[in-house]
Amino acid sequence: MITIKGLNKVFTAKDRNITAVDNLTLDIKEGEIFGVIGYSGAGKSTFVRLLNRLEEPTGGNITIDNQEITALNTKQLRAARQEIGMIFQHFNLLWSRTVADNIAFPLEIAGVPKSERQKRVQELIELVGLAGREHAYPSQLSGGQKQRVGIARALANKPKVLLCDEATSALDPETTNSILDLLVDINEKLGLTVILITHEMHVIRKICNQVAVMEDGKIVEQGDVLDVFLRPKQPVTRKFVEQVMGVNDEDEGIDHLIGTYEHGKLLRLHFIGETTNQALISQVSKKFNIEVNILQGKITNTQRGAYGTLFVQVIGESQEISQAVGFITEETSVEVEVIHDAE
């Protein structure tokens, strides 16, 4: 659906060059929600603006739905942009226009007849959950409602791709979740390819299928969201995972656990996908002559399934404990790590 090869963007400021996007190559499949995450200055917002040429690339090429965006002239680009919707962090609404008129604006520019515009606007108002607010002005709306208007406006021309540049950063957590749920609903109903730019890992965790991590204009890590959460390779990725899982607090707590429990083995269990719902502790306790004490743990969810970490103390004969660990390792998809052996 989207193929990006060797994409570069260099800005010139005060007689020096600043590389915002550095030789970026990426493939995004049709119909998926693809997340791009990075801290401020990583180049992610510049990257998303290059996709519809709100910023002109210094080098490289972008192909969307078999059309090379970087090769289009001004007239061709104007037509191509109708198939690339975009929503922004600060909404970018027309404050002198009502909700309905804001949504209708891109249809007016495209020359869509009034009766057809009105029908399309009403469909979109229903889709984004703004029924009854058609005649309200932006100043009369909450932040979440403003973003819903922005989403409806971006969908007006029935685009194939929806670009979201920090679309939830200005919203409170509850409103953020409602907007993310709406994006998932739109993705499923319309089959849109969604590219989501953010600096918040919980946004990636909640709705994205794939994620690319940006740092200094480069993609430093990429993959399935669940895989990246489970096995982050780069320091910047591990920091983002800590936002959601509190890994630092967890690891600091290991020393406390080791110092507190003087018998048996301390195990760290990594649950992935469906295994998070299995009654594993009960099953192992019944099958083997051991005592299992749950010490602490945390489970979170991604689009591909849940995963989590559980710390347990196992008390019993060494042979029984070894058999129990072997059973978990061989008969389930739970990963086992012995972090302390007090025997």
- How many Å apart are CA 179 and CA 183, to the nearest integer? 6
pTM of the model: 0.80
Tell me what the mean pLDDT of segment 163-167 comes to.
93
Counting residues of the chain whose pLDDT is more than 90, the rounded percentage is 61
- The pLDDT of residue 255: 59
- Looking at this protein, which amino acid is placed at residue 320? E
80: tokens are 């191509």
- The pLDDT of residue 89: 86
258: tokens are 């080791």
Q: Model confidence over 212-238: pLDDT tens digits?
A: 999 999 999 999 988 888 788 999 998
Asked whether the predicted pLDDT for residue 146 surpasses 50, the reply is yes
Q: Model confidence over 97-106: pLDDT tens digits?
A: 999 999 999 9
- How many Å apart are CA 263 and CA 139, to the nearest integer? 63
- The pLDDT of residue 45: 93
Tell me what the mean pLDDT of segment 110-134 comes to.
95
Burial code (b: 16+ CB inside 10 Å, e: under 16) for 81-110 equals bbebbbbbbebebeeeebbbbbbbbbbeee
Q: Comparing C-alpha atoms, which of 342, 335, 339 is closest to residue 230?
A: 335
- The pLDDT of residue 275: 53
Mean of the per-residue pLDDT values of the chain: 88
- The pLDDT of residue 248: 46
**Structural domains for the chain:** 2-244 (3.40.50.300), 247-341 (3.30.70.260)
What is the three-class DSSP state of 107? helix
